[in-house]
Amino acid sequence: MKTLLRTAACLALAGSALVPSITQAQPGADWPNRPLRIEVGSAPGGGTDAMARAVADRLGPLLKQPIVVENRPGVSNTIAADFTAKSTDGHTLVMGVVTAHAIAPHLLKLGYDTNRDLVPVAYVGGVPNVLVVTNELPAKNVQELVALAKKEPGKINFASSGAGSTQHIAAEMFREAAGVDIVHVPYKGSGPALMDLVGGQVQMSFDTMPSVIGQIKAGKMRPLAVTTAKRNPQLPNVPTMAEAGLPYVEVTAWYGLYMPAATPKAVQARVHDEVNRVLAMPETRTRLEAVGAEITPMTQAEFMAFNAAEFKRYGDLIRKANIKVD
């Protein structure tokens, strides 16, 4: 009996000695321990890409690991989201956008469930979509564009970064509100779409502010309206769609970092806190505000609630307007 008690005591001591090492080895305790990847669902040069790189440039040094931005364009930003949802390395994030997380799930058959397989971690900001037209189009304002589209039904093409994107949804809302016949031309991201807009292969787009602000300031395309409730400081002379007579057309492209749902809570909290540190840096705010972004910090819980509300809002809108993709 004494031998058994001594053995039990020794085992208990051995077990207690293991407790600190087990605690230290909990998931996320040494995270990150390798380079990270931020997936982007559009081509270089688009709004999502610009937002991701603005964050990645400052986030890497805070996490003491390099961050690579990888572009996986196509299918309304969902290729990058799908890749991230199925990643298991613990070091892959996606710069999520309203297109992939609140719009596409209502329009496309996806290989993942955005609400089950991904978790909203850190909200970055929102930007307006801007109605831009090619310089050759003889329309100087929204009313003239509507009149031209009604005069020549089916002859005006609008570009988007993909079926189900905010560009596509905003244009469908415009089509319904104005009662015009315009033709959708989807691309794999804003970069190639805007190249064709500048080249005159398409005539209009409701692209995001980060994608078009440089082209607008260079005089390569003409802005007619923004899709937000108020004017944007970067384009103070450009009216809102409501001011132009179409208040129904209101869309905001928002961005935030998502991670696989299995990511440890401690890692999610670390990313959230460090991203908000990045967003508080004057140089980051200046960089994002220069492309029309509005930075509104959220807690992770607030971002999750916002994501759920936007998912429902766009689902209701798509069903009401009977928007479909080919």
- What is the CATH architecture of 36-126+253-321? 3-Layer(aba) Sandwich (3.40)
Residue 37 vs residue 164, higher pLDDT: 37
pLDDT tens digits along 21-71: 333 334 467 899 999 999 999 888 778 898 999 999 999 999 999 999 999
Tokens describing residue 199: 């080249």
**How far is residue 39's CA from residue 83's CA, in Å, rounded to a whole number?**
8
Residues 55, 57, 59, 61, Cα dihedral to 10°: -170
The torsion defined by the Cα of 109, 202, 127 and 67, in degrees rounded to 10, comes to 70
How much is the pTM?
0.79
Q: What is the pLDDT of the chain when averaged over all its residues?
A: 89
User: What are the residue ranges of CATH 3.40.190.150 in the chain?
Assistant: 36-126+253-321
| Mean per-residue pLDDT, 90-102 | 96
Give ranges for CATH 3.40.190.10 in the chain: 128-244
Q: Which amino acid is at 94?
A: V
The confidence score (pLDDT) of residue 87 equals 97
Per-residue pLDDT tens digits for 233-260 = 999 999 999 999 999 898 988 999 999 9
CA atoms within 13 A on the CB side of 87: 21
Tell me, what's the pLDDT at 75? Answer: 87
Which residues 6+ apart lie within 8 Å of 19 measured at CB? none
Give the CATH fold of the 128-244 domain.
Answer: D-Maltodextrin-Binding Protein; domain 2 (3.40.190)
Q: What is the mean pLDDT of residues 134-147?
A: 97
pLDDT band at 188 (very low <50, low <70, confident <90, very high): confident
